[in-house]
């Protein structure tokens, strides 16, 4: 089974911006292969690769025109297989990004579907039967072909929704979830999964996983759909890992996903930590972690076996460094790398790459563009990302003189990079810190600092205390009454102490106690 997931630490690669190997200004697969040793050295043993398939790139590749072909700008299918082989040789697993909710308007299924004559793909997408009749609550694409009807959209106007049926059917043009059309779409998605799993990938991060079935307010139709896919995988590819972009672990883990992300949308209060006006992980000390922890505890109660992942960021949100200073990011990473669930590090967050404001949108990025800038490796041309002339780069790079780079941080023992690396290696050797070990919150009070929790497993118990605020803080609770520190396993920004049940912790610091 997927035992590797129990210890996995992921690295998310946005292929456009990681490493360009041929000087065209856009990252590519051979470039990624050339940096696998870096990822391994950081301590990550799994990769999530954003979509790398044929696409007009109106949404950075989330508008797939052919699920079976790698976009030429990234290389060939052979290059992708080679990435799997090279990654596996280093003990690194690779998840591809599966976009099952929609395709690009350029996909041949859609071109066939637009035709007025009935054909195999007429119901692959969701079409109304009268172009003049507005559709309540769903965006549509209209007047684009001789077919009389409007086509339901999933995201941008160039991303028509694939047809998985409606949970509650209210119009004659809506199919049920077990209609032949909905079943045919599921089979088509299984074929895509089969193809890449056979080629050597280790599973998928699934895009917009929670919204496949329409008019499905409680997600029951979509949950049932994923259960079917999961049982197909259990039969044919029992090793394959499925991770959802859903943002509601109680639903997605029930649906058969191994892990769900907490995200900048959804009910998790993820933004309270790093991305709101007063984030918890800020030395300003005005944040509030309470609602996040309460929701997290509730999700864990419901999620049973599955993993809940708190990513450092991703290609859809502003970077950690947007609101957090380097000091803040150090305490944030103690949290990110000591919580249950597999950690996900968005490329460049390990060096605190900045979010660039006000960039002109590239490939449907809009305000996301500033979080997708090319990786900063060293002091060379384009920070070692590409040999292209700077205005050919996929997205403009951070041009500030003091921009963080891998090379400068690797040489500095106090850098964020080295802290992230130390934390990952600590997680590797301490089972209590790993993905499936337990957690017991000790201190997470409304508008108060610090945050404290015990990570536990049969072999050991560790108390993690994190105080991002610039004030020294202390606390005592029923749970700390008889706690005795047997030593500090890790600290950043100063060491805390436990005496007579009182936990004291310096400003902008975190300590992991052996208890």
* Angstrom distance (rounded) from CA 14 to CA 493: 32
Instruction: Please say which residue, 43 or 247, places its beta carbon nearer to ligand GLC.
Output: 247
State the DSSP H helix or E strand holding residue 79, giving kind and residue range, or none if neither. Answer: helix 77-89
Q: Least distance to ligand GLC from the beta carbon of 429, Å?
A: 33
In Å, what is the CA distance from 191 to each residue of 3, 82, 209? 25, 21, 17
Contact letters for ligand GLC, residues 303-332 (x by CB under 6 A): ------------xx----------------
Helix (H, G, I), strand (E, B) or coil at 113: helix
DSSP per-residue string spanning 396-433: PPP--TT---HHHHHT-TTSHHHHHHHHHHHHHH-GGG
Instruction: Please say which residue, 152 or 463, places its beta carbon nearer to ligand GLC.
Output: 152
Q: How many angstroms separate the most distant Cα atoms in the chain?
A: 80
Asked whether the beta carbons of 12 and 311 are under 8 A apart, the reply is: yes
Contact letters for ligand GLC, residues 95-114 (x by CB under 6 A): ----x---------------
Dihedral sign, Cα of residue 462, residue 466, residue 472, residue 476: negative
Among residues 45, 207, 328, 419, the one that binds ligand GLC under rule CB under 6 A? 207
Instruction: Please say which residue, 39 or 60, places its beta carbon nearer to ligand GLC.
Output: 60
What is the number of other CB atoms lying within 10 angstroms of the CB of residue 499? 11
Helix (H, G, I), strand (E, B) or coil at 116: coil
Residues ≥6 apart with Cβ < 8 Å to 196: 96, 204
Rounded to the nearest angstrom, the gap between the alpha carbon of residue 75 and the centroid of all alpha carbons in its chain is 24
By CB under 6 A, the residues from 183 to 202 that bind ligand GLC are none
Instruction: Please tell me the chain's helix, strand, coil percentages from 3-state DSSP, rounded to the nearest 5.
Output: 30, 20, 50
362 touches ligand GLC by CB under 6 A:
no
Residue with smallest beta-carbon separation from ligand GLC: 62
* Angstrom distance (rounded) from CA 303 to CA 292: 16
By CB under 6 A, the residues from 20 to 49 that bind ligand GLC are none
208 touches ligand GLC by CB under 6 A:
yes
Instruction: Please say which residue, 45 or 363, places its beta carbon nearer to ligand GLC.
Output: 363
Q: Least distance to ligand GLC from the beta carbon of 366, Å?
A: 10
155 touches ligand GLC by CB under 6 A:
yes
* Angstrom distance (rounded) from CA 29 to CA 400: 28
By CB under 6 A, the residues from 420 to 479 that bind ligand GLC are none
Contact letters for ligand GLC, residues 227-266 (x by CB under 6 A): ------------------x---------------------
Q: Least distance to ligand GLC from the beta carbon of 270, Å?
A: 14
419 touches ligand GLC by CB under 6 A:
no
Contact letters for ligand GLC, residues 49-88 (x by CB under 6 A): ----------x--x--------------------------
Q: Least distance to ligand GLC from the beta carbon of 1, Å?
A: 27
Q: Least distance to ligand GLC from the beta carbon of 245, Å?
A: 6
Rounded to the nearest angstrom, the gap between the alpha carbon of residue 318 and the centroid of all alpha carbons in its chain is 13
Q: Least distance to ligand GLC from the beta carbon of 390, Å?
A: 25
Instruction: Please say which residue, 258 or 315, places its beta carbon nearer to ligand GLC.
Output: 315
Footprint of ligand GLC on this chain (CB under 6 A)?
Answer: 59, 62, 99, 155, 207-208, 245, 315-316
């Amino acid at each position: 089974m997927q035992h590797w997931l129990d210890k996995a630490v992921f690295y998310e690669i946005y292929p456009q911006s990681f490493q360009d190997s041929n000087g065209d200004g856009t990252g590519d697969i051979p470039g990624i292969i050339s940096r696998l040793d870096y990822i391994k050295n950081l301590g990550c043993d799994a990769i999530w690769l954003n979509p790398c398939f044929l696409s007009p790139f109106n949404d950075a590749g989330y508008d797939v025109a052919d699920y079976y072909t790698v976009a030429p700008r990234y290389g060939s299918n052979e290059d992708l297989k080679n990435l799997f082989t090279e990654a596996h040789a280093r003990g690194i697993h690779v998840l591809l990004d599966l976009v099952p909710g929609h395709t690009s308007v350029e996909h041949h299924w859609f071109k066939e579907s637009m035709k007025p004559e009935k054909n195999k793909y007429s119901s692959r997408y969701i079409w109304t039967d009268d172009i003049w009749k507005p559709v309540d609550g769903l965006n549509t694409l209209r007047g684009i072909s001789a077919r009389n009807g409007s086509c339901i959209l999933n995201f941008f106007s160039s991303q028509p929704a694939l047809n998985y049926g409606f949970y509650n059917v209210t119009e004659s043009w809506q199919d049920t979830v077990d209609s032949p059309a909905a079943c045919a779409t599921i089979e088509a998605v299984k074929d895509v999964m089969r193809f890449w799993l056979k080629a050597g990938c280790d599973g998928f991060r699934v895009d917009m996983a929670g919204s496949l079935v329409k008019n499905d307010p409680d997600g029951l139709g979509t949950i049932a759909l994923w259960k079917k896919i999961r049982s197909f995988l259990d039969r044919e590819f029992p090793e394959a890992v499925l991770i959802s972009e859903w943002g509601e672990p109680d639903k997605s883990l029930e649906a058969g996903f191994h892990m769900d992300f907490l995200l900048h949308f959804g009910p998790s209060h993820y933004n309270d930590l790093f991305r709101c006006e007063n984030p918890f992980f800020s030395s300003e000390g005005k944040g509030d972690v309470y609602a996040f922890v309460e929701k997290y505890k509730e999700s864990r109660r419901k999620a049973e076996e599955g993993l809940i992942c708190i990513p450092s960021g991703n290609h859809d949100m502003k970077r950690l460094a947007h609101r957090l200073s380097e000091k803040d990011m150090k305490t944030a990473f103690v949290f990110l790398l000591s919580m249950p669930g597999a950690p996900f590090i968005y490329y460049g967050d390990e060096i605190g790459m900045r979010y660039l404001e006000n960039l002109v949108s590239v490939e449907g990025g809009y305000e996301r563009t500033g979080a997708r800038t090319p990786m900063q490796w060293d002091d060379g041309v384009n920070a070692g990302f590409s040999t292209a002339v700077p205005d050919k780069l996929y997205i403009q790079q951070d041009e500030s003189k003091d921009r963080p780079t891998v090379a400068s941080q690797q040489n500095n023992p106090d850098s964020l990079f080295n802290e992230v690396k130390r934390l990952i290696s600590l997680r590797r050797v301490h089972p209590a810190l790993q993905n499936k070990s337990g957690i017991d919150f000790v201190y997470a009070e409304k508008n108060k600092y610090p945050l404290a929790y015990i990570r536990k497993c049969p072999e050991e118990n560790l108390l993690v205390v994190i105080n991002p605020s610039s004030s020294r803080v202390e606390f005592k609770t029923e749970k700390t009454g008889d706690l005795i520190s047997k030593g500090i396993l890790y600290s950043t920004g100063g060491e805390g102490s436990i005496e007579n049940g009182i936990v004291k912790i310096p400003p902008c610091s975190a300590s992991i106690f052996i208890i």
